[in-house]
């Protein structure tokens, strides 16, 4: 049976998930890709306020397309996560608890997941329309000039995901 989790209490369950487990995720997630990560990193370096609180946050590596009629969003599939690997360890050390994307992660990211008792969840690539059906609300909260790569606050419901890397460092992407 697939278990459901809410991002509101992520600190209570992130380190209990097991690699390979299928879950349904609900709550608030923030979209951010390469360009947004670079700007967030610059804000951190400058000691400025971030567009969202990193502590116990969930970031979805996605650049949603414009909304479809009657929906808050267009296609909302995951992007390749390795492009954010240069930023992820620092963001996790600052409180980020969960990342959602597709594909493998570097050893530095795996180490940060373990160190911070976080989790990396995998969305199905090519299933952006399915993911869009799980989005109930969207607000652009930062970097609107980046278009689809702006930071968005999504409210999601029953988004199907797989645990790609758990808090023990077990990963779907190696033969360990």
Band of the pLDDT at 128, cuts 50, 70, 90? confident
Asked if pLDDT for residue 176 goes beyond 90, the answer is no
For the beta carbon of residue 161, count every other beta carbon within 10 angstroms. Answer: 26
In a domain, 171, yes or no: no
Residues 165 and 113 sit within 8 Å (Cβ to Cβ): yes
Contacts of 138 (CB under 8 A, 6+ apart): 64, 67, 72, 73, 152, 153, 154, 155
In a domain, 173, yes or no: no
Strands 151-165 and 22-31: antiparallel
Asked if pLDDT for residue 1 goes beyond 90, the answer is no
Residue 67's DSSP bridge partners are none
Distance of alpha carbon 109 from alpha carbon 90, whole angstroms = 9
Query: Structural domain tally of the chain?
Result: 1
In a domain, 161, yes or no: yes
CATH number at residue 81: 3.20.130.10
In a domain, 138, yes or no: yes
In a domain, 172, yes or no: no
What are φ and ψ of residue 164, in 5° steps? Answer: -85, -40
- The parent domain of residue 122 ranges over 3-11+20-165
Distance of alpha carbon 156 from alpha carbon 139, whole angstroms = 12
Q: For 34-55, what is the mean pLDDT?
A: 98
In a domain, 133, yes or no: yes
Q: For 120-133, what is the mean pLDDT?
A: 89
In a domain, 126, yes or no: yes
């Amino acid at each position: 049976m697939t278990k459901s989790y809410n991002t509101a209490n992520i600190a209570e369950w992130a380190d209990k998930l097991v690699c390979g487990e299928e879950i349904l995720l609900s709550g608030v997630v923030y979209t951010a890709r390469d360009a947004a990560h670079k700007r967030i990193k610059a804000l951190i370096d400058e000691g400025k306020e971030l567009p969202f609180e990193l502590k116990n946050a969930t970031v979805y590596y996605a650049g949603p397309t414009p909304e479809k009629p009657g929906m808050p969003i267009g296609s909302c599939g995951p992007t390749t996560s390795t492009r954010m690997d240069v930023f992820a360890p620092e963001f996790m050390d600052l409180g980020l608890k969960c990342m959602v994307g597709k594909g493998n992660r570097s050893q530095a990211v795996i180490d940060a997941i373990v160190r911070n008792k976080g989790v990396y969840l995998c969305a199905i690539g090519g299933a952006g329309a399915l993911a869009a059906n799980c989005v109930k609300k969207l607000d652009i909260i930062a970097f609107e000039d980046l278009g689809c790569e702006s930071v968005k606050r999504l409210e999601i419901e029953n988004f199907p995901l797989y645990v790609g890397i758990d808090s023990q460092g077990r990963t779907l992407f190696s033969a360990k």
